[in-house]
């Protein structure tokens, strides 16, 4: 009987140990989160997944989400639509991610937005680029994007800089012409003004013909999205020092500030608080994250930290099991969140289209360095 009791006790102990281990395994099962980024190719944002991972590391060091750690699985699409599609399928089917957070791709929204809707997953890009990022039910970027930014740039040129003759010289990528037209129309509806020149085939190359045409048309402000250096150096050569050049967020880099010729007036629209001024609201949080991991300070890394922070905040409010379904439900029913680095509160919500961030701050170049313009965020229409 003694041997029998000992055997029963041993079996019971083994069962208890196995049960405890099973619980530990469940607690250790990570919450997998996907991201599609440009690591190679023409549109490179390697700092974005690095910054998202840095935020997740913070959360994991503090105990994770209900004891489960966050795991980022980033795929490189190399600005190739086929690779972007394959990356999404891999993340959703093989990695079983609960959401996509911090994507930064020039093409992935366009090829994957239907897949996201069909699989019931939400995507919170750090950098939304193509039009589908802002017109899909299951994608909500944390940046204004090129089209909302264009509306703000036009509004800044006409309402802040007080110009009547605003001219647009843009290179329009495939499938993005509708976004440009919508931005111009929105500006016109708000201000009652029309463009003096609208040229949407201003390809890279010698900008002299475009600048001469703008000069002849009496343009007071020129908006363009081509490479900054050739346009600005040729503008100086043509003596166009009385014209304001207003450019998009892609121009807002320290390297571009260094090439602005003397006497040429340049402004750039930013999608968040300008990253070159670390004292602005929200930038302290971002700087702490990227500096702690020696990640490159860029506007793109700002979007990465914001996307990751918002995701974590919503995730912490979920009651019960964290699954793809519960995460999607949480974002579709969430309340707006104020994030000080952005112009207005961010929200996902149940709508069929999502473009939650609408304002821009502007910077100008002085002595080959960017200086923040004093107006604060410019939000066309005050929304």
The pLDDT of 332-355, averaged and rounded, is 97
What average pLDDT does the chain have?
Answer: 91
Write the pLDDT tens digit of every residue in 172-196.
Answer: 766 666 899 999 999 999 999 999 9
Q: Report yes or no: 381 and 190 within 8 Å, Cβ to Cβ.
A: yes
Could you tell me the domains of the chain? 26-144+277-332 (3.40.50.2300), 146-270+361-382 (3.40.50.2300)
Q: Which pTM does this prediction carry?
A: 0.90
Q: What is the pLDDT of residue 214?
A: 97
Q: Is the pLDDT of residue 1 over 50?
A: no
Closest CA to 371 of 277, 295, 247, 289: 277
DSSP 8-class letter at 381: G
Q: Is the pLDDT of residue 2 over 80?
A: no
The pLDDT of 22-51, averaged and rounded, is 86
SS3 for 14?
A: helix
DSSP 8-class letter at 294: T
The pLDDT of 297-324, averaged and rounded, is 97
Binned at pLDDT 50, 70 and 90, residue 14 comes out as: very low
Q: Report yes or no: 207 and 226 within 8 Å, Cβ to Cβ.
A: yes
The distance of Cα 215 from the centroid of its chain, to the nearest Å, equals: 35
Q: What is the dihedral of CA 74, 272, 235, 369, to 10 degrees?
A: -100
Write the pLDDT tens digit of every residue in 58-68.
Answer: 999 999 999 99
What proportion of the chain, given as a percentage, has pLDDT over 70? 91
Rg value, the chain, Cα = 24
Enter the tokens of residue 15. 């069962």
Given phi > 0 = left and psi -120 to 50 = alpha, else beta, which region is 288?
Answer: alpha
The pLDDT of 291-300, averaged and rounded, is 96
DSSP secondary structure letters along 136-161: -TTB--SS-HHHHHHHHHHHIIIIIS
Closest CA to 141 of 306, 21, 15: 306
């Amino acid at each position: 009987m003694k041997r029998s009791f000992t055997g029963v006790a041993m079996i019971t102990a083994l069962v208890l140990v196995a049960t405890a281990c099973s619980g530990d395994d469940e607690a250790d099962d990570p919450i997998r989160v996907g991201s599609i980024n440009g690591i190679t190719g023409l549109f490179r944002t390697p700092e974005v997944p690095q910054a998202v991972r840095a935020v997740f590391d913070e959360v994991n060091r503090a105990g994770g989400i209900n004891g489960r750690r966050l795991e980022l699985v980033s795929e490189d699409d190399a600005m190739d639509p086929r690779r972007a599609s394959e990356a999404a399928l891999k993340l959703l089917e093989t990695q079983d991610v609960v959401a996509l957070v911090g994507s930064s791709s020039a093409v992935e929204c366009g090829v994957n937005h239907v897949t996201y809707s069909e699989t019931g997953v939400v995507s919170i890009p750090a950098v939304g680029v193509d039009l589908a990022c802002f017109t899909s039910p299951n994608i909500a970027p944390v940046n204004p994007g090129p089209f909302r930014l264009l509306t703000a740039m036009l509004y800044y040129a006409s309402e802040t800089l007080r110009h009547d003759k605003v001219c647009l010289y843009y290179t329009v990528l495939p499938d993005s012409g509708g976004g440009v037209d919508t931005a111009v129309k929105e500006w016109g509806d708000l201000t009652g003004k029309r463009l003096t020149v609208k040229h949407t085939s201003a390809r890279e190359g010698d900008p002299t013909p475009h600048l001469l045409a703008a000069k002849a048309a009496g343009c007071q402000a020129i908006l363009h999205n081509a490479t900054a250096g050739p346009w600005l150096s040729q503008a100086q050569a043509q003596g166009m020092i009385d014209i304001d050049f207003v450019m998009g967020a892609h121009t807002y880099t320290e390297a571009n500030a260094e090439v602005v010729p003397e006497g040429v007036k340049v402004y750039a629209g930013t999608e968040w608080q300008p990253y070159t001024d670390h004292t602005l609201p929200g930038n302290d949080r971002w700087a702490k994250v990227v500096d702690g991991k020696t990640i490159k300070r860029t506007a793109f890394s700002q979007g990465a930290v914001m996307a990751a922070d918002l995701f974590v905040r919503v995730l912490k409010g979920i009651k019960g099991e964290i699954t793809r379904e519960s995460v999607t439900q949480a974002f579709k029913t969430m309340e707006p969140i104020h994030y000080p680095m952005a112009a207005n509160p961010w929200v996902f919500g149940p709508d069929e289209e999502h473009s939650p961030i609408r304002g821009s701050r502007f910077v100008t170049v002085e002595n080959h360095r960017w200086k923040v313009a004093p107006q604060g965020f410019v939000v066309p229409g005050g929304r």
